[in-house]
Structure 1
Amino acid sequence: MSLLDGALTRRKPIATETTEDSGGLRRVLGPLDLILLGVGTTIGAGLFSLTGVAAAQNAGPAVVLAFAIAAVACGFAGLCYAELAAMIPAAGSAYSYCYATLGEFVAWIIGWDLVLEYTVGAATVAVSWSGYLNSMLAGWGIHISPRWTAAPFTPVTLADGTVTTGLLNVPAMIAIWLITGLLLRGISESTKINAIVVALKILVVAVVIIFCAPYIDTAHYVPFIPANTGEFGHFGFSGVMRAAGMVFFAYLGFDIVSTTAQDTKNPARTMPIGILGSLAICTLIYIVFSLILTGVVDYRAMINDSSPVATAIDHTHRTWLQNLVKISVLLGYISVLFGLLLGQVRVFYAMSRDGLLPPLFGRLSARRRAPVASHLIFGTLTCILAGTLPIAVLGSMTSIGTLLAFVLVCVGVGVLRIRDPHRVRAFRVPGGLTAPVLGVACCLVVMASLDRLTWIRLIVWLIVGFVIYGVYGFRHSHLATGQSATDQAATDQSRDPSSS
């Protein structure tokens, strides 16, 4: 069998996906846990940072429309995720769904893509966290040299007015390692902290809306859609679409929810609640929040501002509120990083259990039942990205990865409806094939609006993935060797010295 033939025809049976041994992950999450995970992961850099970047560089006040357009595409994709998550409750999110519906090769593509999505997404959040930390410390009279809070070659202005370039974003790197350390404690302990942080974050959003609303200047909404500068993506309708592509990153949360299927109690019922519930809550918050932000701060003043909420709060001239919000935003980012760093490791865990990656990524510690080695590897990689790349680049890379995942999930729902129409579905997308088709179309339109360099980065990343799959994954796939995930779990335990 040729590489291409085998990769295209191997599909993991759905019965295996829903009944196989979970590999040791503890089923401890309920509906509220999943909604909190989704909301906690979704409300973060997309709201607190990319809103300002997208408004200043692409859409102006019409960034509100960009969030709405992204929400429509996400709504179709969210329905498809909910159907597949209820039918195929396995760790790995879109990777596992595509393995059962579109075959091993497409599953590899989406699994590799999801790692880009989550890893770069976590780096994006860490960079935004660094911006808010710097803003808060500056308010207290503590000044960190901007050269150590910005990516290399990024223009920065020193205290004496000298313009130079950044060296390394050290606070962003520290943030990654703090959350990696939390995840090493295990999923049960981590979600308790996450629930507290999410509640705090929702409180911050409410406080910002209530206290900033009186400072809205309606002149900031005129023109609502600034005239295009003559270049695609720079204001005008093309700018709104480009902004929609950038802020798509902001809707990453429900995707993260689907990676925890094997940590979830009764996933067939719980997963749709977590996915659709978190998506609905976050969409409402985004639209209201972006309207407030662009009303208080002129969009032109937010260019290259990684902490626009801090800028908006400064307009209220309430010192106590400024400090409270900035501290709360910093703490709130914990839940975002938690979800993203958890998601990327869960995807590689699922791929390893299927034999497409080395067993190291699927091996759990005996005490915490956590993939320690995988957390350390991804912590290092994410740390490097956070320290060396600016937020606009990271945000666009994450968005295109998210959009590709959504496209393939929508296609998977359509294919499975045609191939296996009578299979029992605990949750069914209404309207037949309408939602999957519209989901694919909406996501492709938004993808097309992203810049050429972002597409090049995605293609290079996928080419690297193809090489790894050809060298290792194709030959070691359990569907090729006949080895089951249960056999793999037993082998891993025998090799793990901590299990004795």
Structure 2
Amino acid sequence: MRRAAKPQQGSRIIFGPRIALDALIRPDKEHRLAKTLSWPHLIALGVGAIVGTGIYTLIGVGAERAGPAVILSFVIAGLVCACAALAYAELATMIPAAGSAYTFSYAALGEGVAWVVGWSLILEYSLACSTVAVGWSGHAMGWLGAVGVHLPHALLVGPSGGGVVNLPAVAVALAVMGMLIAGTKESATLNIVLVVIKLVALAVFVIVSLPAFQSANLHPFMPYGFAGTEQGGMKRGVMAAAAIVFFAFYGFDAVATSAEEAKNPGRDLTIGIVGSMLVCTGIYMLVAVAAIGALPYGILGGSSEPLALVLKTLQHPLAAHLIELAAIVALPSVILVFMYGQSRIFFVMARDGLLPRGLAKVSPRTGAPTRITILTGIAIAIIAGLFRLDEIAELANAGTLLAFIAVGACLMVLRKRSPEMPRLFRCPAPYVVGTLAILGCLYLLASLPTMTIVRFLIWNAIGLAIYFAYSRDSSEVRRAG
């Protein structure tokens, strides 16, 4: 069981008690996650989450909002995520417990902040899964349509798109839920195979499309300017696009949620978090340059399958079909990783008493939290079935940006408060990196559409109401203190 450190004067009223760093995890067998993951599993989890809908689908959305400068948007989003990744790596190896930014915040900033971060992570992971499920549906229907199989429009989009439900998106979400119920190690091993398929497909795309690069497609490079501004009912500009394609980079934080299940967390988490970010940043730069150079951004921005569109335009129909097929086969790995992360956040919050503790039981056969996985899978399937991809991705980004801000703050607070604690990975220049992560994420958050920010504030208002009505009084840390 976790116990609280004695809070500083006034912190119990404002932020709530903190978890003692020397007693972070002491769960009983019924609430303990099994240690089944090694570093190849963790790198695959990170790459599996990062390389997904963001590069297969959102590169088109980014091009629509920034023009050729979407390449710069990828660079900016990648730099912000790199700062956050360094902070995550230090904290995850220092605090090898499930829960990621939620657990770090509980230890460094107090229960109130931890609740807001955890509630935002629920938004991040749930909507990230749903976004990828909707993206997968577009790829699957495009591929099936090419071979003469068509579903009614009403079963391909939700009510906001004039349909009833996105049935393929619902189906893939529930299928991934079933894989996770089968067990963490089995799911992670399957994920490695799916990640290899995705990387091979992207390599084929770059090899085929890069020779068609035309510098004329990069002019004008920044047609909508740098800062995000409202134009034609849409927020456009390099930063507006960065706030969207930011979705394409995060996923390494899902590796941090697996800390409790890592066999050798000190080594494996560092390799998993930093390694997955390095691999994916290189991949994204190559793919973005190849796509924008091969096709005018105006055409690219109007497609839900931009990479396949590039290959079809270049008269490579077989390669286009293979890219679409790879996306259909491999994009579920992204859903798998984010659904995994969501279930672990739910699990730890329930174990801490902030959500009903009965949800925190693990299966005696697999060591995985079956109840919470089923609840997570059903919620994600409902969201994916009813909403559009762009609406979901923007709101998911808001939750992630708040979590990254908290992690940057946790890095600096724990360096100051607990300098003696062993750190198996030490972030270089922690106060500079932490500050850059916070400022970068605040700028990206402000660059999101106004309606997205309003919805995010409403979500957190609901969360705070639940916290003060139920979670605050049922907290295990408060009871132990």
TM-score tier by shorter-chain length is over 0.9
1:16/1:263 CA distance change after superposition, 3 Å: same
The AA in structure 2 aligned to 1:166 is G
| Residue aligning to 1:268 | 266
1:238/1:300 CA distance change after superposition, 3 Å: closer
| Residue aligning to 2:4 | none
What SS class does the counterpart of residue 198 from structure 2 fall into?
helix
Q: Give the structure-2-normalised TM-score.
A: 0.93
Give CA-to-partner distance per residue, 1:280-312, whole Å, 9 cap, x none: 111111111111112223221234532211211
| CA–CA separation in structure 1 for the residues paired with 2:392 and 2:192 | 27
| Residue aligning to 1:299 | 297
CA positional deviation for 1:234: 4.5
What SS class does the counterpart of residue 79 from structure 1 fall into?
helix
CA positional deviation for 1:177: 0.6
The AA in structure 1 aligned to 2:361 is R
Contact 2:34 2:368 in 1 (8 A): no
1:355/1:153 CA distance change after superposition, 3 Å: closer
| Residue aligning to 1:473 | 471
| Structure 2 segments unaligned to the other structure (5+ residues) | 1-6
1:11/1:34 CA distance change after superposition, 3 Å: same
Match of residue 240, structure 2, among 234, 239, 242 = 242
The AA in structure 1 aligned to 2:70 is V
CA positional deviation for 1:273: 1.4
The answer to which of 369-378 and 252-261 deviates more is: 369-378
CA positional deviation for 1:213: 1.6
Within-5 A mapping of 1:211-360: 211-228=208-225, 232-234=229-231, 239-360=237-358
What SS class does the counterpart of residue 66 from structure 1 fall into?
helix
Residue 138 (1) aligns with residue 145 (2): yes
CA positional deviation for 1:469: 1.0
| Residue aligning to 1:79 | 86
| CA–CA separation in structure 2 for the residues paired with 1:347 and 1:102 | 17
Contact 2:399 2:456 in 1 (8 A): yes
What SS class does the counterpart of residue 440 from structure 2 fall into?
helix
Within-5 A mapping of 1:72-151: 72-151=79-158
The AA in structure 2 aligned to 1:410 is G
| CA–CA separation in structure 2 for the residues paired with 1:145 and 1:310 | 23
Q: CA RMSD in A?
A: 2.3
Contact 2:11 2:17 in 1 (8 A): no
| CA–CA separation in structure 1 for the residues paired with 2:69 and 2:158 | 29
1:5/1:112 CA distance change after superposition, 3 Å: same
CA positional deviation for 1:370: 2.0
CA positional deviation for 1:419: 1.5
| CA–CA separation in structure 2 for the residues paired with 1:443 and 1:148 | 37
What SS class does the counterpart of residue 19 from structure 2 fall into?
coil
The answer to which of 267-276 and 81-90 deviates more is: 267-276
What SS class does the counterpart of residue 433 from structure 1 fall into?
helix
What SS class does the counterpart of residue 225 from structure 1 fall into?
coil
| CA–CA separation in structure 2 for the residues paired with 1:28 and 1:376 | 21
The AA in structure 1 aligned to 2:145 is A
| Residue aligning to 2:3 | none
CA positional deviation for 1:238: 6.0
The AA in structure 1 aligned to 2:349 is M
The answer to which of 120-129 and 463-472 deviates more is: 463-472
| CA–CA separation in structure 2 for the residues paired with 1:248 and 1:21 | 38
| CA–CA separation in structure 2 for the residues paired with 1:214 and 1:267 | 43
The answer to which of 312-321 and 196-205 deviates more is: 312-321
CA positional deviation for 1:140: 0.7
What SS class does the counterpart of residue 166 from structure 1 fall into?
coil
Contact 1:233 1:240 in 2 (8 A): no
Match of residue 47, structure 2, among 35, 39, 50 = 39
Contact 2:228 2:237 in 1 (8 A): no
Give CA-to-partner distance per residue, 1:312-360, whole Å, 9 cap, x none: 1212323332222211111110210110100000001111111111023
1:231/1:64 CA distance change after superposition, 3 Å: closer
CA positional deviation for 1:229: 12
Contact 1:151 1:167 in 2 (8 A): yes
| CA–CA separation in structure 2 for the residues paired with 1:314 and 1:304 | 15
Contact 1:132 1:310 in 2 (8 A): no
| CA–CA separation in structure 2 for the residues paired with 1:18 and 1:244 | 37
Within-5 A mapping of 1:293-442: 293-442=291-440
Identity rate of aligned residues, in percent? 37
| CA–CA separation in structure 2 for the residues paired with 1:348 and 1:334 | 21
CA positional deviation for 1:150: 1.9
CA positional deviation for 1:21: 5.6
CA positional deviation for 1:188: 1.1
Q: Give the structure-1-normalised TM-score.
A: 0.90
The answer to which of 168-177 and 117-126 deviates more is: 168-177
Residue 449 (1) aligns with residue 447 (2): yes
What SS class does the counterpart of residue 209 from structure 1 fall into?
helix
What SS class does the counterpart of residue 159 from structure 2 fall into?
coil
| CA–CA separation in structure 2 for the residues paired with 1:303 and 1:76 | 29
Residue 53 (1) aligns with residue 53 (2): no
CA positional deviation for 1:4: 8.4
CA positional deviation for 1:35: 0.7
| CA–CA separation in structure 2 for the residues paired with 1:7 and 1:186 | 39
Give CA-to-partner distance per residue, 1:257-282, whole Å, 9 cap, x none: 00001110121222111101101111
Give CA-to-partner distance per residue, 1:452-481, whole Å, 9 cap, x none: 111011111111111111122111111122
| CA–CA separation in structure 1 for the residues paired with 2:237 and 2:158 | 25
**What number of residue pairs does the alignment pair up?**
472
